[in-house]
Amino acid sequence: MSPNDFGDRHSGEKYILEDLGELFRLIMSSAPFPLQSTALSVLCLPPACLPNTEVVNRQQAKTLWYDRPKYVHMEFCVENSSEVKVDIENNKVIFSCINEDNIQMYNEIHLYDTIQPKDSREKRSDRSITCFLRKMKEKVAWPRLTKENNKPAWLSVDFDNWRDWDAEEEGEMAMAEHYLDLINSVKDKKAPPSMDDLDDLD
């Protein structure tokens, strides 16, 4: 094959591709409108006009929780988050944000028991978003965070902050009893003898 033959072949392939492109446009022009709008928007529009595809998927944020007599504490572990939104309802919490890798995080948690949304609040930091959920029934322990028995893979107990209520109450009672003993011991101490009393001992 001579160089001229190669050039002719290359030019011919170029024209064939152009003809195929024109044929495709002719077919699409006679296709139903929904198909036209979908295909042509992808093939013909410049990149600036295409939908934003930077957020590639959606994931659940790792969540830690622990139970206290008045509040349930819940921490969404997302660093450097943006577009944070927390919707607290009486039986559900919906959390969403964008993490530092530009991935959308989304958690919808149906709670074990009812809470008081107006008295609940959230706090955001560079490392996480923490929710303080005020219980409707104080001093009633929650055996789990979710209404469902099955624990999601992204949910864990915060053992660093978890406390045994009974042990805590016993500790507080022991401290109170010790304090009362100290007060009673001070009251039971007799006043030092006066000089007259010392003279009577002679």
- Stretch 93-116: mean pLDDT, rounded? 97
Residues 197 and 133: their CA atoms lie apart, in Å, by 65
CA distance 78 to 125: 9
**Model-level pTM?**
0.57
Q: Which of these ranges, 32-46, 56-70, 118-132, has the smallest mean pLDDT?
A: 32-46
The first and second tokens of residue 69, run together, are: 């007599």
Domain ranges of the chain: 3-49, 58-165
Q: Residue 5: which region, alpha, beta or left (left: phi > 0; alpha: psi -120 to 50)?
A: alpha
Angle between helices 3-29 and 33-44 in degrees, nearest 10: 140
Query: Would you call 74 exposed, middle or buried from its count of C-beta atoms within 10 A (0-12, 13-18, 19+)?
Result: buried
- How many C-beta neighbours within 10 Å does residue 104 have? 14
With a CB cutoff of 8 Å and minimum separation 6, the contacts of 124 are 81, 84, 130
Correct CATH for 58-165 of 2.30.40.10, 2.60.40.790, 3.40.50.720, 2.30.130.10: 2.60.40.790
Mean pLDDT over the full length of the chain: 77
Q: What is the pLDDT of residues 33-43, one digit of tens each?
A: 555 555 545 44
Give 182: exposed, middle or buried? Use CB within 10 Å, 0-12, 13-18, 19+: exposed
What percentage of the chain reaches a pLDDT higher than 90? Answer: 51
Q: What is the pLDDT of residue 176?
A: 54
The pLDDT value given to residue 198 = 44
Residue 188, token pair as written in the block? 């039971």
pLDDT at residue 28, as a whole number: 64
Segment 117-121 mean pLDDT: 97
